[in-house]
């Protein structure tokens, strides 16, 4: 813990610890003093965007803050554009990053990006958004085993539609390949909704994205879920087995939460964390989470920071793998 020019500097894993308020420092001002910007690293329509807009809509309905709350989509670079934007806003509590843990954590372990966890302040975690493996309804594949067998016998002939080359869906592909010996190619899109639509339209063979991003297509009989990658079956697709049921050690999901820039004033951080807890406790959030089959995973800032650090350590092997070019 150290101070520079009278401003408290907070480490990533400590939520709110600056005990001394310095005269004239930002935390002495009322918060918020300008509109609050919730940043999303994907294009509109995907799971992260839907999560951000749901949370901010509830905050507006609750009249949490006197200032406007806006959602800003900053897609590109596998999330790097948005992550760098947050990094550049050090000390500004009016900027929040809506997180999908896969893309965020893979960026933090890439040394050339200089996006380590110390550049961010943990806020809260809300849930785990489960991943599934889905194909078009008319696909010849009727089971996950058939897809795995094809990936083994004819490697790199099936193409997955995913959001990002460094996101959770890509991580899931890596884990499936590691556990089964199958090999697949992939095409990345600007959002999960685009990736899942590509499968429904026959442009890609399958998608390992979040169920929340394709639920409308599943309910509309455009997509069929072959397997889920959580700990248990999902109410929305009760006939789809877990990968564990099928005998594979594959458990992957997308963490949904928020971080702020490093160095934000403790009082402002505490106010935003409290506002997030009100959203989480609301009936509107509980209904949204149930509708999208989210797994509850609420963590306050200190616990969320520790969790992210632990998950980051697990990303190193994954990053070593995806740094290699796709097989021809």
pTM listed for this prediction: 0.78
Both 67 and 93 in one domain: the answer is yes
Assess if residue 248 is contained within a domain.
Answer: no
Both 290 and 182 in one domain: the answer is no
**pLDDT of res. 317:** 79
How many independent structural domains does the chain possess?
A: 2
Both 116 and 45 in one domain: the answer is yes
Which CATH number do you get for residue 272? 3.40.190.150
What's the token pair of residue 288?
């949204």
In the predicted model, is pLDDT for residue 10 greater than 80?
no
Both 150 and 37 in one domain: the answer is no
- Domain range for 273: 2-11+33-129+254-320
79: left (phi over 0), alpha (psi -120 to 50) or beta: left
Both 121 and 263 in one domain: the answer is yes
Assess if residue 26 is contained within a domain.
Answer: no
Both 81 and 7 in one domain: the answer is yes
Both 203 and 274 in one domain: the answer is no
In the predicted model, is pLDDT for residue 182 greater than 90?
yes
Assess if residue 249 is contained within a domain.
Answer: no
Q: How many Å from the N-terminal Cα to the C-terminal Cα in the chain?
A: 49
In the predicted model, is pLDDT for residue 262 greater than 90?
yes
pLDDT tens for each residue of 57-69 = 999 999 999 999 9
**pLDDT of res. 29:** 55
Integer Cα distance of 192 and 190 in angstroms = 7
pLDDT tens for each residue of 283-314 = 999 999 999 899 999 999 999 999 999 988 87
Assess if residue 173 is contained within a domain.
Answer: yes
In the predicted model, is pLDDT for residue 207 greater than 80?
yes
Both 125 and 260 in one domain: the answer is yes
From residue 7, alpha-carbon distances to 10, 31, 117, 180, 250 in Å are 10, 16, 19, 51, 45
In the predicted model, is pLDDT for residue 12 greater than 60?
no
In the predicted model, is pLDDT for residue 22 greater than 70?
no
Both 67 and 119 in one domain: the answer is yes
Both 223 and 283 in one domain: the answer is no
**pLDDT of res. 214:** 95
Is residue 254 within 8 A of residue 168, CB to CB? The reply is: yes
pLDDT tens for each residue of 70-109 = 999 999 998 999 999 999 999 999 999 999 998 899 999 9
Which CATH number do you get for residue 208? 3.40.190.10
């Amino acid at each position: 813990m150290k101070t520079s020019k009278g401003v408290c500097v907070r480490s990533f894993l400590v939520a709110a610890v600056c005990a001394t308020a310095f005269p004239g420092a930002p935390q002495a001002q009322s918060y918020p003093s300008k509109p609050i910007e919730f940043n999303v690293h994907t294009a509109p329509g995907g799971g992260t965007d839907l999560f951000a807009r749901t949370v901010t809509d509830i905050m507006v309905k609750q009249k949490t803050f006197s200032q406007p709350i806006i959602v800003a989509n900053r897609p590109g670079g596998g999330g790097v554009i948005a992550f760098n934007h947050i990094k550049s806003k050090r000390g500004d509590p009016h900027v929040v990053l809506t997180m999908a843990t896969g893309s965020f954590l893979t960026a933090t372990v890439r040394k050339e990006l200089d996006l380590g966890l110390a550049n961010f302040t943990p806020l809260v975690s809300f849930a785990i958004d489960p991943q599934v493996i889905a194909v078009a309804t008319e696909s010849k594949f009727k089971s996950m085993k058939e897809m795995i067998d094809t990936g083994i016998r004819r490697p790199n002939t099936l193409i997955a539609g995913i959001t990002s080359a460094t996101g959770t869906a890509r991580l899931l592909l890596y884990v499936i390949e590691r556990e089964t010996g199958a090999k697949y190619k992939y095409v990345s899109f600007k959002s999960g909704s685009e990736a899942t639509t590509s499968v429904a339209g026959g442009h890609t063979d399958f998608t390992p994205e979040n169920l929340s991003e394709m639920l409308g297509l599943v309910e509309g009989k455009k997509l069929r879920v072959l397997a889920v990658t959580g700990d248990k079956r999902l109410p929305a697709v009760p006939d789809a087995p877990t990968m564990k049921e099928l005998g594979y050690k594959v458990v992957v999901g997308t963490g949904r939460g928020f971080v702020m820039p490093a160095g934000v004033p403790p009082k402002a951080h505490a106010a935003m964390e409290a506002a997030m807890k009100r959203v989480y406790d609301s009936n509107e959030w509980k209904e949204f989470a149930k509708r999208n089959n989210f797994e509850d995973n609420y963590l306050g800032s200190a616990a969320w920071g520790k969790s992210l650090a632990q998950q980051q350590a697990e990303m190193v092997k994954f990053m070593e793998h995806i740094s290699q070019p796709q097989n021809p």
